[in-house]
Amino acid sequence: MVMGRRQTRLQKLLKKNCFNTAMAKPKVLFIHLGRSSFVKEDLRILNEIADVKEFYFNPRKFSSSIVTGASLIWNFIRQFFWLAKNFGNTYGIYCWFSDYHGVLPALFAKTFNKPMITILGGFDCIKMPHLDYGIFCSRWRTPLGTYVVNNSTLLLPVNDSLIHTKKIAKHWPDAHPNGLVANIPSFNTPYRDLPTGYDADVWEAGKIKREKIVSTVAACSTIQIAKRKGLDLFIQTSVLLPDYTFYIVGVSDELKAELIKHYTPGTNLKFLPRQKREDLNKVYTKSSVYLQLSRAEGLPNVLCEAMMCSCVPVGSSVFGIPHGIGDTGYVAERPDPEHIAELVTTAHQQADQLRKKARRRVIDHFSLERRKNTLTKLLSEFGLG
């Protein structure tokens, strides 16, 4: 806080609680948009080393844009008073994604000179107009996300391709150039890539010998999201490989009907509803090849889960997917079903040599323990743990 200046209303509101920092554990404010699996894991890690106060920013979507807007405003109001109540004694803020829900936390952190660490996951760094994907496609979210990025103390992208994309993605529309460097000309915030973590005890290794089964997991309900997840390419590839069985996991019944009508797949394509973790384990361990053809993605959880279950990965060359695969599978340089079909065939043929390697890569580079250790060290450096 700058001394010698007249206090603002915000500073007066917080003055009562801001200067008593004696406590058993450092208090950290955790801001998120929903308790996804990776948010839950970070909450668990932070709770071990800090007194965590959690805020779920949850604006609901309605058919009426006015009602949706009112819900958003209500969440801002609710968040402001929550911050005013809980900011006293806090050591800093931990925010998942750089979007509108991080604006007030960033303002509070800047005003009172507290550190704010923001995790970057994908949509908050990307602009893909042809898919209408990413906050930088929105005129009103762009300045809000930019404010959060520019006023964070440290950014932790799940992969550094979210900061600046790699040339390997040049044949995928809008995938390169992209990332924060392309979308925020003034970008200069410190960052360090920190991938999400996966538990080897949760995901089974499975057998080496497997049938010709290819799977992909994509929880989606609209054709637009399906295209972003590459389901069009997945279905087109399945038509070219009739002797393989292809599974799409997670699409809604309405979208399933739309995909079948639009792409007329063969009988070798199967749809499965959304699965619990233990059931996903069974899908992965049955599959020989896991196909991740997303056009926009950070570091896909499902890709790493499948690799942990010894699936041979084949994926698009965008954002964090090539880094996830490494030298344990194959990367599609272009969105061409014939090219992808060749890679799937090769992946299955080479599976005996690659299965253990795929699992080992996730354990070595993306383990939950590694994320915990790195995150604990970083939080300590910034006074949050």
Q: Alpha carbon of 328 to those of 57, 59, 186, 307, 331: distances in Å?
A: 38, 40, 37, 9, 10
Report yes or no on 281 lying in a domain. yes
Q: Report the number of distinct structural domains present in the chain.
A: 2
| Dihedral-angle region of residue 380 (phi above 0 means left; psi in -120 to 50 means alpha; beta otherwise) | alpha
What pLDDT does residue 22 have?
44
Question: Dihedral through CA 301, CA 305, CA 306, CA 309, nearest 10?
Answer: 170
Q: What is the domain extent for residue 62?
A: 9-197+369-381
Report yes or no on 207 lying in a domain. no
Report yes or no on 130 lying in a domain. yes
Please state, in angstroms and rounded to a whole number, the distance separating the CA atoms of residues 92 and 208: 47
Cβ atoms < 10 Å from Cβ of 327: 9
What pLDDT does residue 385 have?
65
Instruction: Let me know whether 120 and 269 are in one domain.
Output: no
Report yes or no on 33 lying in a domain. yes
Cβ atoms < 10 Å from Cβ of 258: 16
Report yes or no on 308 lying in a domain. yes
Nearest C-alpha neighbor of 337 from the set 213, 225, 246, 223: 246
Instruction: Let me know whether 47 and 185 are in one domain.
Output: yes
Angle at 103 between CA 84 and CA 319, to 5 degrees: 140
Instruction: Let me know whether 258 and 299 are in one domain.
Output: yes
Instruction: Let me know whether 122 and 237 are in one domain.
Output: no
3-state secondary structure of 138: coil
Instruction: State CA 153 to chain mean position distance.
Output: 20
Report yes or no on 264 lying in a domain. yes
Instruction: Let me know whether 84 and 173 are in one domain.
Output: yes
Q: Between β-strands 116-120 and 154-157, what pairing exists: parallel, antiparallel or unpaired? A: parallel
Instruction: Let me know whether 239 and 140 are in one domain.
Output: no
At 53, which CATH number? Answer: 3.40.50
User: What's the length of the chain?
Assistant: 385
Alpha helices, DSSP H, located in the chain: 9-15, 37-49, 65-86, 103-111, 141-150, 180-183, 223-228, 231-240, 253-263, 277-286, 301-308, 321-325, 337-349, 351-365, 368-381
At 231, which CATH number? Answer: 3.40.50.2000
Asked if residues 296 and 133 have their Cβ atoms less than 8 Å apart, the reply is yes
Instruction: Let me know whether 167 and 191 are in one domain.
Output: yes
Report yes or no on 98 lying in a domain. yes
What pLDDT does residue 52 have?
96
Instruction: Let me know whether 30 and 83 are in one domain.
Output: yes
Average pLDDT, 10 consecutive residues per value, the chain (385 residues): 40 43 76 95 93 95 84 97 95 97 98 96 95 96 98 97 94 93 96 96 96 98 95 98 98 96 96 94 98 96 98 98 98 98 99 97 96 90 72
Instruction: Let me know whether 334 and 293 are in one domain.
Output: yes
